[in-house]
Amino acid sequence: MSLLSRLSWAALFALVGADSYKEPFRPQYHFSPAKNWINDPNGLVFHKDKYHMFYQYNPTGNVWGNISWGHAVSDDLLHWSELPIALDAFQAPSGPLTELYFSGSAVVDSGRSSGFGNKGQTPLVAVYTSLYTQDMTLPSNQTVRNGQQSQSIAYSLDDGLTWSEYEGNPVILGPPSAYSDQYQNFRDPFVFWYAAGQHWVMVVSLAQEHRILLYKSSDLKEWTITGDFGSVNAVSGAWECPGLFPLPVDGNDHDIKWVLMVGINPGAVAIPQGSGTQYFIGTFDGSNFTADPGTILSSPVPAHYTVYEDWNKTSFAASSWTPTGDFVGEGPEGGTVLTLWGKSKGDGDGDIGSLTSSNFTITSKYVQFQIGCCSNPAIVGAYGTPQDIETTINLLVSGEVVRSTTGVSGGGITWRSWDVSDLVGQTASIRLIDSSSGGWGHLQVGEIVFTDSPLPQEANWVDWGPDFYAATSWNGLADETRIAIGWMNNWAYGTDIPTSPWRSAMSIPRKLELKNVQGKTQLVQQPQPRLSPLEQGKPLQQRFWKNMSPGNITLPLSVKSVDAELTFHAGKNPKETGISLRQGSDGAAIRVGYDFATAQMFVDRSAETQDVSFSNLFPGIYYAPLSADHDGMVKLRILLDWSSVEVFGGLGESAITAQIFRPDSDLAVSVFSTGDAHSVSLKLYPVGSVW
């Protein structure tokens, strides 16, 4: 009998120390560690009826650092027990903290192809990125450089409790020679068994090249490159954490497609300065992934627009822009991108000032513009103070900033859009501000145009919210079953969220499927664990309104966590319909709803009343495309926890995940409609704690 079977999970949990799990903002049915920092889920594997989840972990604090592999296990994807650290950076074979254990995957080597099995035991094999922190010669006699990322393996012979690193590590020292300069950006291997070819497959990211490399192996030790994929769709930031797996379309085993998931940071849909996950649908032949033509999207560029500014002038005055600070007496250098360098062009980050356009009347629904570096958002009330370090493009009406967008540090220039349909007819101006004199301290702005057409979609997003990243799926399940989980945080502010003694949590696990929705094959997802063990069956509220007019209906209950199902149809004058959660006495709340005019569901956390000074990128409204079904019904499934909300629209073809940090006193719930809706049905189920 193995050590894992002899020790109870409760005893193992006690080894790492259980907490009360009642601290402010502590998730009650999402996984979070007892203490310290976590990020990407790693090494997801189902073995002997248990779900193993490893994750990026700092054993010594609740900020990123000393990255090791933490470990938790569950019978039902709801109740998790923490186990001892699996891969500990303080115990690296080459010396403490000389190797950090970055993201990766794990497999059950049931055929014992690796040779690690002992006396018929089935090994678990983890495949991960080793980040080396100094120049050195490894125990395997391979030489690595400071900052090098290589692919390594470790194995367990006691069902995942303890791990031994392969003495021949790394198994892939660096990327192919054509990309040898990318040795510091070669990471996050996802490995699986390809039964048709009887070999192992690895997909691994060349982060800065926006490219996925594919390898194969017979023994998990020797790897041969077979193909690559990229660079398409969202490419303004680094590609990370890839995953590749098959799914039947509409449950048809004779119609199998392959899904490639790829993280991007920065350059995501919800917060361009932050992280998110996109996907591609295509075919895989054991060596190469080929995306279907419909999954490759054109770069988002405006349509049917009027150019307001293209910077093809010799001075700012000729463009009717008023400069201040270091930009007085300067002018654009010509072309379509303006970089706010001042007189000291050799040290442009040190130059500060602003450019303000002449007044104009808003006549179009959208203002769209290209923006590049750098990420320093506006801070309300900081103008004229040392805290004012923004690099932004702002829209002003009556002297007040009504829209503001910052750039992306380390990302390319890309198109962004403001919906100004509610401001049509008003007088406005545009102000470009560079108040930052430090690193990443300038601003790039390209063409500015006016249009009535929204920007086209640039990628197929797994989740349209700000807090779903590094999504990966469990190996070891049946071929037609794919369950994934994501890091419920964002690199734009992840190290600063106001939680202690832990920082970050995981999303709800989600079952992934491919379905034809509105004539298009799409990835759909629904919460996988049945929450019924936590819900006790009977709804808190079950309401039906045949017709709903504009207004708010406050419900007689107070909740911090809930599972809600909301369905409705458009009325004669449909606008927005939805539910307000965690509402305070001042009316501020988390608003979840649907905009009939744009056919989008949304999560609005812009009216947060709690202290969000940790990041001005945190407040916002997040949208996801969602069409009503063939009967005209809109369906929303909403999971509220103490510090998060996850929304699944329709069949699950759209999802939005967002953290929230509401005061404990704000517990009210109301249903709202700004237009007319009918056949409005609401069910609210209480969700208890797993702790």
425: CB partners within 8 A, 6+ apart: 361, 362, 363
Contact indicator for 589, 669 with CB cutoff of 8 Å: no
210: CB partners within 8 A, 6+ apart: 230, 231, 235, 238, 239
Q: Which two tokens stand for residue 649?
A: 């629209």
The CA-based angle 161-163-164, given to 5 degrees, is 155
Amino acid at 623: Y
Closest by CA to 73, choosing from 61, 57, 84, is 84
Closest by CA to 600, choosing from 619, 577, 571, is 577
Rounded Cα distance between 146 and 27, Å, is 38
Element (H, E) at 382: none
Say whether 534 sits in a helix, a strand or coil.
helix
611 catalytically annotated? no
Rounded Cα distance between 280 and 289, Å, is 10
Contact indicator for 365, 420 with CB cutoff of 8 Å: yes
Q: Which two tokens stand for residue 173?
A: 């020292």
44: CB partners within 8 A, 6+ apart: 51, 52, 53, 54, 105, 106, 472, 473, 474, 475, 485
Rounded Cα distance between 590 and 119, Å, is 56
**Inter-CA distances, 227 with 103, 215, 514, Å:** 21, 7, 25
Sign of CA dihedral 34, 35, 40, 45: negative
Strand duo 164-165 + 186-194: pairing: unpaired
Rounded Cα distance between 370 and 455, Å, is 12
Plot region of 508 (φ>0 → left; ψ -120 to 50 → alpha; else → beta):
beta
The CA-based angle 349-352-355, given to 5 degrees, is 120
Cα 686 to the chain's mean position, in Å? 27
435: CB partners within 8 A, 6+ apart: 352, 376, 388, 389, 390, 391
Element (H, E) at 667: none
Torsion of Cα atoms, 94 then 100 then 105 then 109, to 10°: 10
Say whether 319 sits in a helix, a strand or coil.
helix
Query: For the chain, first and last CA: distance in Å?
Result: 29
Closest by CA to 403, choosing from 458, 448, 469, 338, is 448
User: In the β-sheet with 562-570, what is the strand arrangement from edge to edge?
Assistant: 541-548, 677-686, 562-570, 633-641, 644-649, 654-659
| Strand segments (E) across 372-426 | 391-397, 400-406, 414-419
490: CB partners within 8 A, 6+ apart: 268, 271, 274, 275, 466, 467, 469, 659
Closest by CA to 210, choosing from 188, 185, 238, 182, is 238
Strand duo 502-503 + 36-47: pairing: parallel
Q: Which two tokens stand for residue 421?
A: 């349909």
Q: Which two tokens stand for residue 619?
A: 């407040």
The residue from 19, 40, 75, 666 that is catalytic is 40
Say whether 230 sits in a helix, a strand or coil.
strand
Contact indicator for 557, 542 with CB cutoff of 8 Å: no
Give catalytic residues, as residue numbers.
40
